Amino acid sequence: MITTKKRCGPAVMLGLAIAAISQGATAQSASCSYTVSNDWGSGFTGAINITNNGNTPINGWEVNWQYDNNALTNTWNANMSGSNPYTASNLSWNSTIQPGQTVTFGFQGNTNGSSAETPVVTGDVCGGVSSSSSSSSSSVSSSSSSSSSSSSSSSSSSSSSEPTGDGTFRVDETGNITKNGNVFPVKCSAWFGLEGQHEPPDAADNPDGAPMELYIGNMWWVDSGRDIQQTMDEITAQGINTVRLPIAPQTLDPTDPQGIGDIREGGVLKNAGPLQQENARQAMEDFIVQADQNGIEVIIDIHSCSNYVGWRAGRLDATPPYVDRDREHYDYTREGYSCGVVDDDGVVVHEYNEQLWLEDLRDIAGLSAKLGVDNIMAIDIFNEPWDYTWEEWSTLAENAYEAINEVNQDVLVMVEGISNQTKDGTEVPHGSEETNPNWGENLYPFQNDPLNIPKERLILSPHTYGPSVFVQNHFLDTSDAECADLDGDAAGDAGCNIMIDAARLEPGWQEHFGYLRDQGYAMIIGEFGGHLDWPQGAPLRDQERWGHIEPGVDANWQGALVDYMVEKNIHGCYWSTNPESGDTGGLYNHAYDPVSNPAGWGTWNGFEQRKWNLLFELWGEN
């Protein structure tokens, strides 16, 4: 695992001698190649690539190799056994290699005083003929001049898992996203649920659970007949061509109990019976394939370190106490769960860290080849990393790019911003104190410390919200001196007035992220949205605290943001397609109302047309 900032990584491969040995009558028409991606004297990283050169699929594979002096310390994307000689075999998700496709697995090792070796790779699968090449390049360029050939290895066609549909995503010189060389206008919304929902601690079934199930507007107690295909038909007819799909690490595990089984029969799932998923992993894969069949590109978003911790994480190894522990009328504070190791027997630890995260990113990067799709446009590497400094987060982001690029050189890497300070109070530069960034919005430090990721592979993705999610100080009426230093709940308790002024908002957006769009970086605001009639429609805590506010201030904020996005040619993913988000609602109306219709939870009532009109304005279609 590479953790040193700006260190040269495996994105630019050193092509070294490779070998393949025929295994007689049992050998399949495949070639096996060994490459060293980085050699720093005492250690190295490398990969073995298995390319199916035949006309029929390879189902299951195993390869072997042996060093004279080197030894492995870490591997990914394969089952490993033995200790020199080593044996690697397939995982469940990369067992099948279609004709023309390549499966890649990687490793890290020690040279033990020698140099990085290039051993012979053997195995029944290795029946083809390999070639060898060399390159002296060993660093990654962060400039836009890094072309697809320079940001990948000299044998890039064999070191990445190529999608069957040949979907190659890039960013052109002006910051436009392209697919197979054609400019792709991103029209995006989020569709959540697979990253983990929350059950109350006193629920009769699955108490305090975190089921991973996509919201589809058809709970078992309603059985409205709605399914995923109906929604895809409806949103594509409106213009949506991209969906941001949040997941959690547990979503990738097909055996996790929070993604399996009808809740009426001891499981956790609430969608109508015939539409229930086999498991969360299968549901994710099925969604990607179905989206591909409907012409929808997908951005896969690692939304949290755990399905139990949820959106509040802020870092890979998040620990309680969390920022919403005192939130009123809220049963899901998750103080009993942690992603970092804690010395508290009362806290359940779902351990997560950089190594596990990078392995998950490699897994996701391999989905294009595994599923035979060409619609995975980008991987949003981690949601709202607000609890990091820029130095910490930029190092992690660069390591994420390297891990993804080892597996798939056709997908884009989406990197969000940070916040104004970390959990421990460490201040983070964000420009003027007149405007405070939302979680994920702050890319201000980028100007002095740019990401060492090729510009043609990078999407910058700030998040920004209006009063529906959090009342910032710069939303308040400046004529009220008593509110000069307030925000959030304190401002509501003080009876502060909200006055949305685009002239105050735009300088903040510009210095937090807009200046980078001016420099030609690709940019998608990964989350924006809200209740247009806020505080009406919002959770009871907001309705009670902000009942003195005339509805419409969030609509004013969203209108100002869309105007700014149009001016800057910035894309966005509206949060969210489905309406179950308490803070924002969605592009569909929700039958649920916390006062008048609590039984309407999970039932959709057609489009919220005013939100669609905002998107049409953003897309230049009205």
Handedness of CA 212, 216, 222, 223 (dihedral sign): negative
Q: Tell me phi and psi for residue 476, to 5 degrees.
A: -85, 155
Identity of the amino acid at 568: K
Told to judge if 384 belongs to the known catalytic residues of this protein, a careful annotator would answer yes
Residue 622 near residue 613, CB atoms below 8 Å: yes
At residue 326's C-alpha, the angle toward residues 323 and 330, to 5°, is 100
Question: How far apart, in whole angstroms, are the C-alpha atoms of residue 361 and residue 500?
Answer: 39
Out of 384, 416, 506, 511, which one is annotated catalytic?
384
> How deeply is 254 buried, as exposed, middle or buried, from its count of CB atoms within 10 A (0-12, 13-18, 19+)?
middle
- Please name the residue ranges forming H helices in 453-501: 488-493
Residues pairing with 189 in the sheet: 243, 574
Pairing of strands 182-183, 188-190: unpaired
Contacts from 326-335 at CB under 8 Å and sequence distance 24+?
327/541, 328/541, 329/539, 329/540, 329/541, 330/539, 330/541, 331/198, 331/200, 331/201, 331/202, 332/198, 332/200, 334/198, 334/308, 334/309, 334/310
DSSP state of 510: I
Write the CA distances from 280 to 35, 229, 285, 287, 485, integer angstroms: 34, 18, 9, 10, 45
Beta strands in 331-445 (DSSP E): 337-338, 348-349, 376-380, 412-415
Residue 295 near residue 241, CB atoms below 8 Å: yes
Identity of the amino acid at 113: G
Out of 297, 527, 580, 608, which one is annotated catalytic?
527
Identity of the amino acid at 230: Q
**Closest by CA position to 574, among listed 526, 509, 508, 519:** 526
Pairing of strands 169-171, 58-59: unpaired
Residue 283 near residue 197, CB atoms below 8 Å: no
Q: Half-sphere exposure of residue 568, counting CA atoms within 13 Å on the CB side?
A: 27
Told to judge if 527 belongs to the known catalytic residues of this protein, a careful annotator would answer yes
> How deeply is 412 buried, as exposed, middle or buried, from its count of CB atoms within 10 A (0-12, 13-18, 19+)?
buried
Residue 582 near residue 311, CB atoms below 8 Å: no
Handedness of CA 392, 508, 190, 266 (dihedral sign): positive
Helix%, strand%, coil% for the chain, nearest 5: 25, 20, 55
**Closest by CA position to 296, among listed 209, 340, 371, 237:** 237
At residue 164's C-alpha, the angle toward residues 131 and 36, to 5°, is 35
Question: How far apart, in whole angstroms, are the C-alpha atoms of residue 375 and residue 368?
Answer: 8
- Give the residue numbers marked as catalytic: 384, 527
